[in-house]
Structure 1
Amino acid sequence: MSEPLDGIASVLERTGEYRVLRRLGAFAGCGEAPDEPTFIGLILDTETTGIDHARDEVIELGIIKFEYGASGRVYRVLEIFNQLHQPRGPIPPEITRLTGITDADVAGHRIDDAAVQALAADAAVVIAHNASFDRQMCETRWPIFAEKNWACSCHQVPWRQEGHEGLKLGYLLVDYGYFHNGHRAIDDCHALLALLAAPLRLSGRLALACLLETARKPTVRIWATGSPIETKDVLKARSYRWSGRRRCWYIDVAEDQFDIECGFLSREIFRGEIRDLPADRITARDRFSLRTNPEA
């Protein structure tokens, strides 16, 4: 934004009657040399022909490779990758309406699989704003993503506790005073990098630091196998979810909440001692993967 326009925006904001949104610019990094151990991260986003990982295809892949410190500080962007891909059939009209990607845009294009493999090889973590979707779409085509630690910036950052009402990328950007061209893969990657590099609104902690802290903690998936059908509303009220494949209710809890949850099941659901309760330990290496998808 030019200086005169910046001045106008500042005047409007000072009145308290207006909020001005600025177009998100390119991430400039922190401008300082690292004084701590550093790692390589990927921010990844996909545009696809649909939501079925077994049937639908990635038509655009965006990746930003960046260097970050143990503190969660983002130091610099290392590489930007954005490629289109022509799917086997026509792009559904609803996808074109959402993304703006047409059959003509992708005609003759193919994502370079070897380049993706090389880009991801040294990454310590892959971050997506809906990791349960993006991971499953990616590891179907690029097996290297099945071997990586993943983190979800939508659900593993305490946005609501930090004063945000919406979790969508565009809503979060607006709360920080910015807008971007949404629903294109690399634009969403740039937006997410800016959010993760910034301090959270209330605590002041770096968003990336909070995300990594949560992602590193193992969780336990508890299966309420054999729970009486009349207890389903009690389980739903406690945030248990139904697995159609395994035909039972389950919940993911932090490791230190395992005994508490077992106590709840014993008292409220099974009304007696529980033996050999099925449970799976899940880490960032498996979280959001097809391997841990309860419906896969």
Structure 2
Amino acid sequence: MLVDAETTGLQHARDEVIEIGAVACTYNNEGIVGDVVSIYSGLRQPSSPIPPEITRLTGITDDMVAGQEFDIATLDALIEPANLIIAHNAAFYRPFCEKLSPSFVPKAWACSVSEIKWADLGFEGNKLGYLVGQSGLFHEGHRATDDCHALPEVLARAVEEGGQSPFAELLRSSTRCRIRIFAENSPFDMKDHLKARGYRWSDGSDGRPKAWWIEVDEDLYDDELHYLRTEIYRWDEAEPLTIRLTAENRFRL
């Protein structure tokens, strides 16, 4: 199932979903997208007026959402049988969706931004507008249901004749386990080394530890642990905090 939403802002803790779209499709294990079987689209009035910049971006006005509420029962009926929830930037949408309905919580999620190597497929960027345009398609962007209809069209198209579709790559990526490693209490003078290796800084404001961190494929974990022990901590028994990420908890943490 593909899901997209429009919100009053970027902060999961305080902002609200004002539109949600969901399109349920069939697919097989080879990554072939089948038929659309169900669609849901809804608007909801937030607790405060929609910010002007959101209206400019989405076209959604206070008049459009006045008195509107989501039909959560209908939405849940789409979510319950879904094997995989796909969002274009799942790290943004998953927390909003899980606040909206607990039916989203136990589901496996996949991200069509971060789990497909779009550049290797010849695309100039991973924003949906670029992908749609370079696929020879056209759609009205920044409305939830329109984006949900456009994304499966892009995912289903093989870049080369006889080649595999982006969706096939996404399906494979979603089954892989990754390890998130937090280099807590690493020496301050090692920050440039960590940054050069691809570590990112977490300031602790989002509930994560305050530390440099990285995500690696499960089969690369031993190499990364060896790097930290020998180059950063210089202690053979160092055990940095690690979190195992699967499709069930990825993009939530």
The answer to whether TM tops 0.5 is: yes
Please state whether the residue corresponding to 1:72 is helix, strand or coil: coil
1:253 to 216, 226, 232: 216
Do the aligned residues in 2 keep the contact of 1:73 with 1:197 (CA within 8 Å)?
Answer: yes
1:280 to 227, 236, 243: 243
1:213 match:
172
Please state whether the residue corresponding to 2:119 is helix, strand or coil: coil
Distance 2:237 2:72 in 1: 48
Deviation at 1:233, TM superposition (A): 1.1
Distance 1:244 1:250 in 2: 11
1:99 match:
58
Q: After superposition, where does 1:120-131 map in structure 2 within 5 Å?
A: 120-131=79-90
1:78 to 20, 23, 37: 37
Deviation at 1:271, TM superposition (A): 2.5
| 1:228 pairs with 2:191 | no
Deviation at 1:202, TM superposition (A): 8.9
1:237 to 181, 196, 217: 196
Using structure 2 for the length normalisation, give the TM-score: 0.95
| 1:190 pairs with 2:149 | yes
| Change in CA separation of 1:269 and 1:203 when aligned onto 2, cut-off 3 Å | farther
Q: After superposition, where does 1:254-273 map in structure 2 within 5 Å?
A: 254-273=217-236
Q: 1:144-179: CA deviations, max 9, x gaps?
A: 111100000011011011111211000011111222
Q: 1:229-268: CA deviations, max 9, x gaps?
A: 0111111111111122222111111000001111221232
1:170 match:
129
Do the aligned residues in 1 keep the contact of 2:201 with 2:212 (CA within 8 Å)?
Answer: yes
Q: 1:167-207: CA deviations, max 9, x gaps?
A: 10000111112221000001101110101111135992111
Deviation at 1:217, TM superposition (A): 0.4
Identity %: 48
Deviates more, 1:256-265 or 1:274-283: 274-283
Query: 1:164 corresponds to which letter in structure 2?
Result: F
Query: 1:229 corresponds to which letter in structure 2?
Result: F
Do the aligned residues in 2 keep the contact of 1:49 with 1:56 (CA within 8 Å)?
Answer: yes
| 1:181 pairs with 2:140 | yes
Deviation at 1:83, TM superposition (A): 0.6
Q: 1:259-293: CA deviations, max 9, x gaps?
A: 1111221232123313333211110000011xx1x
Structure 1 unmatched runs, 5+: 1-41
Structure 2 unmatched runs, 5+: none
Please state whether the residue corresponding to 1:160 is helix, strand or coil: helix
Distance 1:85 1:160 in 2: 36
> What count of residue pairs does the alignment treat as equivalent?
249
Distance 1:80 1:155 in 2: 25
| Change in CA separation of 1:99 and 1:107 when aligned onto 2, cut-off 3 Å | same
Please state whether the residue corresponding to 1:178 is helix, strand or coil: coil
Do the aligned residues in 1 keep the contact of 2:4 with 2:144 (CA within 8 Å)?
Answer: yes
Do the aligned residues in 2 keep the contact of 1:162 with 1:202 (CA within 8 Å)?
Answer: no
Do the aligned residues in 2 keep the contact of 1:163 with 1:201 (CA within 8 Å)?
Answer: no
Using structure 1 for the length normalisation, give the TM-score: 0.82
Do the aligned residues in 1 keep the contact of 2:40 with 2:74 (CA within 8 Å)?
Answer: no
| Change in CA separation of 1:218 and 1:101 when aligned onto 2, cut-off 3 Å | same
Please state whether the residue corresponding to 1:97 is helix, strand or coil: helix
| Change in CA separation of 1:247 and 1:215 when aligned onto 2, cut-off 3 Å | same
What RMSD in Å do the two structures reach over aligned CA positions? 1.3
Q: 1:113-136: CA deviations, max 9, x gaps?
A: 111111100100000001001101
